[in-house]
Amino acid sequence: MEPHKVSILLLGDEKCGKSTFLSRISQGNHKLSGNGPITLLRDLDQPFIFELRGRVAQYRLEFSDTSGPENWQLLHPDIVIICYDISQRLSLINMKRIWIKQVRQIFQTEATLPVLVLGLKRDLRSESDPNGIIYPQEGHQAAQEMRADMYMECSAQTGELLPQVFEDICRRAMKTASSEGGQSDGGCCLM
């Protein structure tokens, strides 16, 4: 049986952690907990392919990172994940002001396109900078304002919440390939 193909586009500011996230998950389930060094993926190898087996079907997840494809606007994703760096307030601001607007302008399937928000570099959240710290509640609120379907956060470096985030993305991808589609019923949910 031919696997269901699900195209996933990661958007976000440069150096917000997308490449490290993809590199860590590409090393397999045994490395999701943050054990060992991360071998960074090469942009030339995009899309990054992940094969999954569900109970009744097989899935082929094809991840593309905005640092790689020169013309990401020409892609036709089934899911968009807007990423931001938890340790950089400007990254959160750009997510709300720039990235969600570009998604809505470029992808005409906005009404059915699942948009997820992913906070990266959770291990760098610092209490020492009260102006720069972004708590999970603030990230979740930003996702709700953007009408995102899901909010998640993790650290690819330490593996904190990485297995759960990858599982949530896989579940959303499988749902996207079904007849019900991948959007949430009634807005953002916190995972």
Task: Sketch the domain layout of the chain as residue ranges.
Answer: 4-190
**Closest C-alpha to 6, from 174, 163, 151:** 174
Instruction: Say how far apart CA 110 and CA 108 lie, in whole Å.
Output: 5
Q: Which two tokens stand for residue 38?
A: 């991360």
What residues does 117 pair with on adjacent strands?
82, 151
What pLDDT does 183 receive? 58
Query: pTM here?
Result: 0.88
Enter the CATH code of domain 4-190.
3.40.50.300
Residue 104 corresponds to which amino acid? R
**pLDDT, tens digit, for every residue of 125-170?**
877 776 667 889 999 999 999 999 999 999 999 999 999 999 999 9
